[in-house]
Structure 1
Amino acid sequence: MTGTVLENLSGRKLAVLVSFFLICQIVCFLIGGIIAPKPSITDSVLATKCIDTSNHSEEWFYSRGPKPCRGIDLGNFMYEEQAFANQIVFVFQIPSPREKVLLDYSRWQQNLVGILHLDVLYHSQNEMAPRTVLTIDAKLGYQDKHDPPAKWTYYASSVERRNLDCTMEQKKELYPYSCSIIPLFELGSLHHDYYLLNIRLPVDKGRNANLGHVGDMWLFARNQTGGFTKVWLSLKCVFFPSIVGILVWFLRRISGLQRKPQVLETMLIIVALSLTLLNAPVELLTLFFDLPFMLLLTDIRQGIFYAALLSFWLVFSAEHLMVQEVQKKSLKDYWPYFSSVVVGCVSLFVFELCERGIQLKNPFYSIWVTDAGTKLAMALLVIGGLCGIGYLILLCYLI
């Protein structure tokens, strides 16, 4: 067949091109290892335990600001009365102060993930099962610097169920269980300065009846560091125009030929377009707008790029290594080869929509909580894994 544009390049030009890409890659590794800070940090916050005497769930409880709530100590107190247990509100204000300096979140920090850990104390008269279904009534609000100190704006709320696994090797009175952590929420955009989380553990015959004595509650708030985001987006802003320029140059070379683009050239264009989409610094928009779908959009862009790259290797292997077969004229002839890539990507895309798609409306949602959701998630992941295995087998056959 007639050589592609890259195949018609001289050895010297090709060596210069490959050397340039290697140097860029080395420079990026050095910037990431030497200049960029760690990608994420975790803020450990101990809950302030407050009493809601009026059982008014619409009221905001906060520990810092004018008229903070009245805190209590649950460490040595056994609240046996159900009515009193329903009045306890666990309060988290994030970010927490450091060295008596009040901090605030920056939009450069991009996202926020909240994970709970319960300090459950052992009581001989109230032993916990190894696995307990925990019901959490959570409400999240936010505040900006220009807002009044006592004004908190509603963001999201939900009543969620989580599995809590607790063990204890040596049972001693008032000793804490070793309990698993509980994923609570995920925000795809960190647009506001302060966040307030109110958590209740409602107790009745069907909810939290078998839960032990909760002495304390911790929130681990993990977010991307602003310094890492600045370095990351700076690299994107540098390489994005370069990739666009290379793509335009390649398209001009293709359009100047007296023939239609070959299959491999078409795949190179598709890979370049997907790489351009992936490297577009759209995250800069989060500095001006609240875009909670950014995590979902990033995963979709990565999925498009990997699908294009995997498809390219199939076409490359078939075009250059299977010399004994007749070369295919268009991408339509490769659809049987692309089936594993398409099915695998579609299954992972559906999984992404079921998880982060629903989190756009309810950041406390998790597909892994219910049995039906767990089975659906596992089925989608297994389909994706089987398609990956099928892709490797097909690629080895072509090679």
Structure 2
Amino acid sequence: MAGAIIENMSTKKLVIVGVTLLIFQVLSFLVGGLIAPSPTSAVHYLATKCVDNRKHHQRTKWFMPWGPNQCDKIRDFDEAMGKMIEANDIVFAVHVPLPNKEMSPWFQFMLLILQFDIAFRLVNQIEAGAVVTIDVGLAYRDDTLSEWTEMAHSTEQRRLSCNFTTPKTPENEGRHYECDLLPFMEVGSVAHKYYLINIRLPVNDRKKINVGIGEIKDIRLVGIHQNGGFTKVWFAMKTFLTPSILIIMIWYWRRITLMTRPPVLLEKPSPGTREEPSLPASLKRCLVQNARAKWQDSPCGPGQVIFALGISMTFINIPVEWFSVGFNWTWMLLFGDIRQGVFYAMLLSFWIIFCGEHLMDQTERNRFSVYWKQVVPIVFGSFCLFIFDMCERGVQLKNPFYSIWASDVGTELAPKMAFIIVAGICACLYFLFLCFMVFQVFRNISGKQSSLPAMSKARRLHYEGLIFRFKFLMLVTLACAAMTVIFFIISQTPFLCSAGQRVDGGRRRERLSACDREALQACKLCTEQRRLGSELRCPVSVNEGHWHWGDYTVQVNSAFFTGIYGMWNLYVFTIMFLYAPSHKRYGDEQSNGDLGVNSGEDIQLTTTITHVDGPTEIYKMAGKEAQE
């Protein structure tokens, strides 16, 4: 019989293929860890307080915080009160980037996070549920001499969430509240060199606008963008991996179309199957039961399922991001999320079908309707994420200052991280369910192994080899699923700043490795004096998302991104290669000395299916219920 490559390829060749794939997997991690810089960078900006002396405030004027045309500035609000300057005449100006620097299309996106410095005053405290109204404008230009061109303007509201940790007494007046970071702006393309942000806090006592928000001292912004060096490495990986998946996908589909039967859901057997007298009774009944299945009940087969997985991988691989360097495509973030969502849905559905088709405790198979209970939640969850993405990124195409986290519902969800928690729980439940399915497959296969001693030595060794290969592939699948779930949870975490720092509630949390802590205790150095990896002479140290290993610096975050991306491609490549129909016969492989027996006996032992394009043997062994 022909079967699949996973069962007909010699062990030596499979080991070579596995080692080669492992080398590529290690390289994908090393590319991100040693070559690429950190995925993102964070830049802190302090808004300059400019004074608008015009009687009628017009949006056509832009206030520059520095340079030859800089605005009239004040140091603080005490100075403004001394000069009789009203709050409505103050404009907070921020220039992106900092002086003597330029933005680049290689940065891909620009995310700004807002933080207020609010001082405590007994007569002007922050009221419960206080909302700040912001009149904000965004402009751009590509040289230092051109006039500013308006890019967006909007009036937004942000709900304050601040705590005052000390007693509210006169002695503590002037101390600052601890306020949560607020989403401010996000653009999906950095097509211009310079950006200017003007922020106004209009006050209207009659309409209760910006009343009860405390005494705002300063406005700070944290700008986050993708590093250009990481973008180039990422694009290079996409460009390299796209043709490899395309080639294996075309090769795989050609193998499928050369079969004399239509492809089915993870290899449904051909109607031409017949029983093998030398097989155990349980396997005989399994083959007979499979042979009675009707072709019309299988609307789509394994070729289509695996091929669809390859298409989804190609969809996410195609490096259309190259065009974003030369064109102002602000929709690239939304398009990238859609591509990743399609791949997630296809990959998670494939794993369910892949494991389910090898369960022997099923009364039916080879039909998608059997898996609707498992696939529908995946599709529904992906659709919900798509709607959520459209509600935010879709609106941001017109208004970059919009944020769903600033809405009433989003404000309740954001501090509690409810959305992230729900997504993480769902991902973990999926992984546990997948582990349960794999456990069932292993248990059923182990139960059937009791019939192997009745076979001849050659056939027993053959089936034991197939079972080992299949179990190993299932464990690899579980490992890929675990890494994917971890990646999904991490990628959904908001405010993931550069160098692996996560800003949470205005505080920066740094993690020290065990080596760092021991070195600090041994050297009796305080935190402010430490220099990780240098003065402490720690052979391996972790600090802000990178490892210092001697003279080498390993970017952990970059390695994780490129490693997971490479893992997906290698896994899809492996599935399409190993499950492609083989042109070799089992007897031919044995004649090469795999089992050390003569080819005549091998041919006799492998005539379980007369049809050359029949199902794989491991599929039959781990197949539909065999009634004992």
TM-score, normalized by length of structure 2? 0.58
Q: Deviations over 1:2-56 (max 9, x none)?
A: 8445444443443333322211110011111111111111111111111112222
Structure 1 partner of 2:471? none
Alignment of structure 1 residues 17-28 onto 2, 5 Å: 17-28=17-28
Q: Determine which of 287, 290, 294 is the counterpart of 2:328.
A: 290
Structure 2 partner of 1:261? 263
75-84 vs 328-337, which moves further? 75-84
Alignment of structure 1 residues 53-72 onto 2, 5 Å: 53-54=53-54, 55-72=57-74
CA 1:380–1:91: 2 relative to 1, 3 Å: closer
Distance 2:373 2:238 in 1: 35
CA 1:229–1:125: 2 relative to 1, 3 Å: same
Displacement, 1:333?
A: 4.5
Q: Determine which of 296, 310, 328 is the counterpart of 2:365.
A: 328
Q: Deviations over 1:308-336 (max 9, x none)?
A: 1111111111111x124355234354334
Q: Deviations over 1:135-164 (max 9, x none)?
A: 11111111113xx62511111111111111
Distance 2:31 2:421 in 1: 37
Q: Determine which of 127, 134, 151 is the counterpart of 1:136.
A: 134
Secondary structure of the 2:405 match is coil
Q: Report if the CA contact (8 A) 1:46-1:92 is conserved.
A: yes
Structure 2 partner of 1:250? 252
Displacement, 1:81?
A: 11
Displacement, 1:354?
A: 1.1
Question: Which residue identity does 2:203 align to in structure 1?
Answer: V
Distance 2:29 2:139 in 1: 39
Q: Report if the CA contact (8 A) 1:319-1:327 is conserved.
A: no
Q: Report if the CA contact (8 A) 2:405-2:413 is conserved.
A: no
Distance 2:409 2:195 in 1: 32
Q: Determine which of 153, 163, 167 is the counterpart of 1:167.
A: 163
Q: Deviations over 1:221-270 (max 9, x none)?
A: 11111011111111111111111111111111111111111213322111
Q: Determine which of 393, 397, 407 is the counterpart of 1:370.
A: 407
Distance 1:336 1:7 in 2: 31
Q: Report if the CA contact (8 A) 2:136-2:200 is conserved.
A: yes
Question: Which residue identity does 2:397 align to in structure 1?
Answer: L
Displacement, 1:219?
A: 1.2
Structure 2 partner of 1:32? 32
Matched, 1:113 2:111: yes
Alignment of structure 1 residues 203-214 onto 2, 5 Å: 203-205=203-205, 206-214=208-216
Q: Report if the CA contact (8 A) 2:140-2:148 is conserved.
A: yes
Secondary structure of the 1:32 match is helix
Distance 1:96 1:226 in 2: 17
Q: Report if the CA contact (8 A) 1:130-1:167 is conserved.
A: no
126-135 vs 231-240, which moves further? 126-135
Secondary structure of the 1:161 match is strand
Displacement, 1:383?
A: 8.0
Structure 2 partner of 1:359? 396
Structure 1 partner of 2:122? 124
TM-score, normalized by length of structure 1? 0.89
Higher helix fraction: Structure 1 or Structure 2?
2
CA 1:80–1:68: 2 relative to 1, 3 Å: closer
Alignment of structure 1 residues 80-229 onto 2, 5 Å: 84-97=86-99, 102-129=100-127, 131-145=129-143, 149-170=145-166, 171=168, 172-205=172-205, 206-229=208-231
Distance 1:252 1:159 in 2: 57
Distance 1:330 1:307 in 2: 18
Q: Report if the CA contact (8 A) 2:48-2:94 is conserved.
A: yes
167-176 vs 274-283, which moves further? 167-176
Q: Deviations over 1:264-323 (max 9, x none)?
A: 332211111111111211111111111111111111111111111111111111111x12
Structure 1 partner of 2:11? 11
Matched, 1:277 2:315: yes
Question: Which residue identity does 2:258 align to in structure 1?
Answer: G
CA 1:12–1:135: 2 relative to 1, 3 Å: same
CA 1:128–1:336: 2 relative to 1, 3 Å: closer
244-253 vs 57-66, which moves further? 57-66
Q: Report if the CA contact (8 A) 2:183-2:405 is conserved.
A: no
Structure 2 partner of 1:314? 352
Q: Report if the CA contact (8 A) 2:188-2:331 is conserved.
A: yes
Secondary structure of the 1:86 match is helix
Secondary structure of the 1:310 match is helix
* Higher relative contact order (Cα pairs below 8 Å, separated by 6+ residues): 2
Secondary structure of the 1:24 match is helix
Secondary structure of the 2:204 match is coil
Which sections of structure 2, spanning at least 5 residues, go unmatched? 267-301, 441-628
Please say which structure displays the higher CA radius of gyration: 2
- What CA RMSD, in Å, does the superposition of the two structures yield over aligned residues? 2.8
Distance 1:168 1:334 in 2: 53
257-266 vs 6-15, which moves further? 6-15
Which sections of structure 1, spanning at least 5 residues, go unmatched? none
50-59 vs 9-18, which moves further? 9-18
CA 1:208–1:283: 2 relative to 1, 3 Å: same
Higher strand fraction: Structure 1 or Structure 2?
1
Question: Which residue identity does 1:257 align to in structure 2?
Answer: M
362-371 vs 35-44, which moves further? 362-371
Distance 1:5 1:255 in 2: 16
Distance 2:157 2:82 in 1: 22
52-61 vs 281-290, which moves further? 52-61
Question: Which residue identity does 1:272 align to in structure 2?
Answer: G
